[in-house]
Amino acid sequence: MKVSAQNLHAFCVEALIQVGVSQADARTTADVLVTTDTWGTFTHGTKALRAYVRRLRGGGLRKNGRPKVVSEGPAWALVDGDSSLGMVSSEFAMQTALAKAAAVGIAFVGLRNNCHYGAAGYYASMAIEKDMIGISMANDIPTVNAPGARGSVLGSNPFGFAAPAGKEKPILLDMATSTVAGGKVFAAAALGKTIPGDWLLDANAKPTTDPTLFSHAGSLTPLGGYKGYGIAFLIEVLSAILTGAAIRWQVSSWTFSDPSKPTGHGAAFIALHIASFMPVEQFKERIDRAIREIHAAEKADGAGRIYLPGEMEWERREKALVEGIDLPEDVSASLRGLAEDLNLDLNRILR
C-alpha cells in the first residue's frame, strides 16, 4: 500500500484523538511513527500504533498522562513518564536533555514509567537540527539470550545515535543489541518466511530458522555474543536500574500483556552541545571530511557504494516524501485492523 507521509500522519492523529489523546500528543506520536516509516524502519513505525491504541483503550497507557521532571541538576534529570505514550514521554525527555545540554554542554536524562518508545534513532535524531549529538536507549522485556543461558535474559535493548554533518547527510545509527530486532522476526513470521540460522535460538538454546517460535518459545541471539549482551546490560543499567524503571522480567510486554496495566519500561537520553567543544562549522567540516573519505574508499567486488550509518534511511525518507511511503503488507494489515477497531475509514484518509 502506497501512502503519502502527510495522509499517514493524519490517520495516526485521527486514530489517537478518537481514543482521547490530545491533539498535541497525537501529533508528537504521529511524528515519531511516520518519520520511522519514511526511513524504511517499518518494524518500529505505524505498524505498532494498533497495539498502542489497544493499551490506550485498556488504560495501561494513560491518554492524559503527563511526563514530568521528578529530580534534576543542571546537567541531568529524572523524568517520570506517567505511563503516557512512549513517544510522548520520550520526546519530552529528549527535549529536556537538549535544553540542558544547550545550557551546560552535556546532559543525561533518565526516564521511568515509559512504554515501548519505537525507534531509538528518532530521539537521537532530534539533536541534529539543534547542532547537537544525540544518544537514546531503552530497556524491554527479555527476548534475547546470553552466552550459557537457555531462554531470554535481557531485552533487545535498542540504541540510537545521531550527529549533524555539514553538506553531507547526518549520521544516524538505530540498532537493537540482538543480532536482529524482534520486529524482523515477527515480520518474517507474518509473511510465512524462514529466517537465517543465526537470528534465533529455540527453547533448548539451539539455532532455529522458524520465526513462529518467537517470542513464546524462542530467544534472539545477542549481537556478537558477549558484546551485544554487555551493551544490553549497559542499557539496562542506564535506562532502568539507575532510573527506577522496571528491570528485565518486571517489564511487561507492550504487545501481549494485560492492556490495562502499565509496562514500566525505562529509557535514557544523552545530548552533547557541539558548540561547547568547538565551533559548529569546524565540527561539520571535520565530520564531512570523514564521511567523504569513507565514500571514496576502495569498494569490495560487487559493492557500488559504502554507506555511512543513516545514509540509506535519509535517502529512503527523501524518496518517501516525494513518491509516498510504500508500506509492506504487515504494516498495511495492522493499519487496516486499527481502522476496523476504531470504525475509521482508512481509504478515505489514505486516498
Least CB distance from residue 145 to its own copies, whole Å?
A: 8
**Stretch in the footprint of its own copies (CB under 8 A) among 48-56, 208-216, 286-294, 334-342:** 286-294
Report phi then psi at 102, rounded to 5.
-60, -30
For residue 161, list its beta bridge partners. 135, 173
Site for its own copies in 157-216 (CB under 8 A): 161, 163, 171, 173, 175, 179, 204-205
**In this chain, which of 147, 196, 207, 279 binds its own copies, going by CB under 8 A?**
147
Q: Which span (14-22, 143-151, 209-217, 318-326) binds its own copies, by CB under 8 A?
A: 143-151
Contacts of 20 (CB under 8 A, 6+ apart): 56, 63, 64
Instruction: Report the C-alpha gap between 343 and 330 in whole angstroms.
Output: 20
Q: Are 266 and 112 in contact (CB under 8 A)?
A: yes
Residue 73 binds its own copies (CB under 8 A)? yes
CA 272 to the chain's CA centroid: 20
d(CA 112, CA 126): 20
Q: Is 161 helix (H, G, I), strand (E, B) or coil?
A: strand
110 is an interface residue for its own copies by CB under 8 A? yes
Q: Which of 1, 102, 190, 234 binds its own copies (CB under 8 A)?
A: 234
Answer positive or negative: Cα dihedral of 222, 190, 37, 294. positive
Nearest to 266 by CA among 96, 125, 124, 83: 83
Scanning the structure block, which residue is given the C-alpha cell 541531568? 76
**Binding residues with its own copies: total (CB under 8 A):** 73
Q: How many CA atoms lie within 13 A of 267 on its CB side?
A: 38
Site string for its own copies, 261-280 (x = CB under 8 A): -----------x-x-xxx--
How near is the Cβ of 258 to its own copies at its closest, in Å? Answer: 22
Shorter beta-carbon distance to its own copies: residue 30 or 153: 153
Q: Does 69 bind its own copies (CB under 8 A)?
A: no
Output 251 or 335, the one with its CB closest to its own copies: 251
The smaller minimum CB distance to its own copies, of residues 86 and 228, is found at 228
In this structure, what C-alpha cell is assigned to residue 194?
Answer: 524462514
Q: Applying CB under 8 A, which of residues 81, 155, 183, 228 lies at the interface with its own copies?
A: 228
Residue 223 found at the interface with its own copies (CB under 8 A): yes
